[in-house]
Each structure stands twice: as C-alpha cells, then as structure tokens.
Amino acid sequence: MYFYAQIDGMQISELEYFIPVSDKDQLYLKRFQPAERKGVVFMVHGSVENGRVFYSTSGKGIAPYLAVHGFDVFVIDLRGKGKSFPAVDKNASYGQYEAITEDIPACIDFIKNTTGHQELHLMAHSWGGVLCLSWFARYHSRARIQSMVFFGTKRKIYIKSWEKRWKVDLFWNVVGTTVSEIKGYLPAKSLRFGSDNEPKQFYKETNQWVYSNDWIDQRDGLNYPQALKNLNVPPILSLTGTLDTVLGHPYDVQFLLQEANAHDHRYVEVGKKYGFKHDYGHIDILTHPDAPQDHFPLVLEWLNAHNQ
C-alpha cells in the first residue's frame, strides 16, 4: 500500500510491505519515506509491543518526525505482532531467537535492497535494543550500522524495589508464567501487560535473560557480551525517563551499555531536573505530545552527527 501524508507541512510517503519469513509467517514493515533521503533508520519495538510505539495514525511519533527531517524510516512489527500475520496464539512456536536470526536479518536485507543503502541506523524501544545488539553480535558484517538509539533499553533488571517485586516478580514472572502455560501464549493485551500478545517461547527466552546474570543464547549457547567484546560496537545514544523506575531504570540502562562493550555512547536521562519539559516514563518517552519539541531534537542531532 502506498499513500501520501502531510505532516508538519511536509509531504512524506507512507508505504506498507509484507515480508515472508516462513511458510506461514509474514512480517509487516511500515515505511515513512521523505522526498529527499539523507539516511536510513530501522526501528525495532520491544516485548509485548508492536511498531505503533513509534508512530500514530495521526502522523505523530518519532518515525514520522524523523521522516520529515530527511530520514527514510522503516518500522517492523515482529512476527505475530501488530499487522504481521498470523497473529500470536497458542500455535506460535517461535521465540526471540527467530527474531534475532530471521526477522531482523530479513528486514535489514529488504531495506538494503529497497533503498540501495548499505548503511543504516538502528533505533529501538525497551527489549528491542537487546534484540538489535544480539543481531549485531551475530551479523555485524551484513550491514554498516552508523549508530544505535535506545529508549528505556535494559537487559537484566538489577534494581530492587517494591515496585519491581510487584510489577516484575509477581505479575510479569509468576502470573505471566502461569497464564502462558495454561493458554499456550502470553495474552498480554487482556492482562494489560502491554499492547500486544507474546508467544510462549519468546516470553520464556526473554524472562530467562531478565533474571540471569548471563546473556547467553538458550538455543546455541552464544555468549553475547563475549562476542560484542571482540567487535567495534557502533555509537549508542541511550535515553530513559526519570519516571521509568523499573522497566528502564537508569542503573539497568547504563549497565547494558557496559555489558555491550559500548565505549562510544551517550546516556541521557529525560526529565525536568535535566532541563526537559516533563518527567517521562517507559512509554510516553516516545508517545508524549511534547516529545517532538522536547527530546526528539536531541535524537535528530545524534543521527545527523553520525550519518557519515
């Protein structure tokens, strides 16, 4: 599907693609294409989410914001999420391993072939950043990654608080494990855990990393920190909100940068005490109506600086 949108007085093209990754599974890829392209950005959402965290039907969000400023933006709905099909149900047997080794590589190959660009920026929200780093550890030679931008991205939750025990240990871990065993998948939407449901295998693999000191693949044993230590990890801009006290706690977000061997990075906590208009949480750091005037310009500045 192809149509035009008028956003902030600028005309951009919006396109939709479906990319097959198995005999029955197709990924949905949303594109925001500027009239003149100066760079390419690929966006990956997190667990119990879909790509809509990056854009709205009314043309708001960081994806159309960057397109207006000259970036060709592609947003994935990971397998079974959003408009990808078939939707997650008890028959979904794939996990985050497939996202890392099949979904993300298929989209990046498609983006390179479609745009003719061999270089691009990776942008992710929450667990999507872990998937991007895991992809890079395996397939870094498949594309030149100019930079990465993460919002509220952590791998393990180290902080201890009553809020963490309530939200993560009880609801996410205990309730999530129990319900996913009964239903055959995690019905996150009905449980109000997130905006999209999660395959049982994806949930199990994610949960193991959240609670483990080791970032090691459960399928083939790849030690991701060890692999990244031997690579030149791209520059990373990592942002989290001052109200993101569990899912993107500043300590956990910064620890991932160390674990990923990200020597060239910038960490930004987005809140009033740091000069921003608002204190942001895990989701509204991307969806707040003031974000385009508050901290999105900082992201744009980062991409422009690393768009060489």
Confidence at residue 6, expressed as pLDDT on a 0 to 100 scale: 55
| Closest residue by Cα to residue 98 from 29, 25, 42, 149 | 25
Confidence at residue 11, expressed as pLDDT on a 0 to 100 scale: 80
In tens digits, what is the pLDDT along the chain, a chain of 308 residues?
445 455 555 789 999 999 999 999 999 999 999 999 999 999 999 999 999 999 998 889 999 999 999 999 999 999 999 999 999 999 999 999 999 999 999 999 999 999 999 999 999 999 999 999 999 999 999 999 999 999 999 999 999 999 999 999 999 999 999 999 999 999 999 998 899 999 999 999 999 999 999 999 999 999 999 999 999 999 999 999 999 999 999 999 999 999 999 999 999 999 999 999 999 999 999 999 999 999 999 999 999 999 97
User: CA–CA separation, 248 vs 195, rounded Å?
Assistant: 17
3-class SS at 33? strand
In this structure, the dihedral spanned by the alpha carbons of residues 18, 56, 48 and 159, taken in order and rounded to 10 degrees, is 140
Instruction: Confirm if 278 and 294 have CB atoms less than 8 A apart.
Output: yes
Q: If you ran DSSP here, which 8-state letter would residue 214 be given? A: -
Confidence at residue 207, expressed as pLDDT on a 0 to 100 scale: 95
Reported as a single tens digit per residue, the pLDDT across 259-289 is: 999 999 999 999 999 999 999 999 999 999 9
| Domains of the chain with CATH codes | 2-158+222-305 (3.40.50.1820)
Confidence at residue 24, expressed as pLDDT on a 0 to 100 scale: 94
Reported as a single tens digit per residue, the pLDDT across 117-146 is: 999 999 999 999 999 999 999 999 999 999
Q: Read off the pTM.
A: 0.96
Confidence at residue 70, expressed as pLDDT on a 0 to 100 scale: 96
Instruction: Confirm if 72 and 29 have CB atoms less than 8 A apart.
Output: no
- The number of helix segments (H) and strand segments (E) in the chain equals 13, 11
User: CA–CA separation, 204 vs 244, rounded Å?
Assistant: 23
Tokens coding 176: 């999530």
User: CA–CA separation, 289 vs 71, rounded Å?
Assistant: 21
Length reported for the chain:
308
Quick one: how far is CA 124 from the chain centroid? Answer: 3
For 30, other C-beta atoms within 10 Å of its C-beta total 22
Confidence at residue 308, expressed as pLDDT on a 0 to 100 scale: 79
Confidence at residue 7, expressed as pLDDT on a 0 to 100 scale: 58
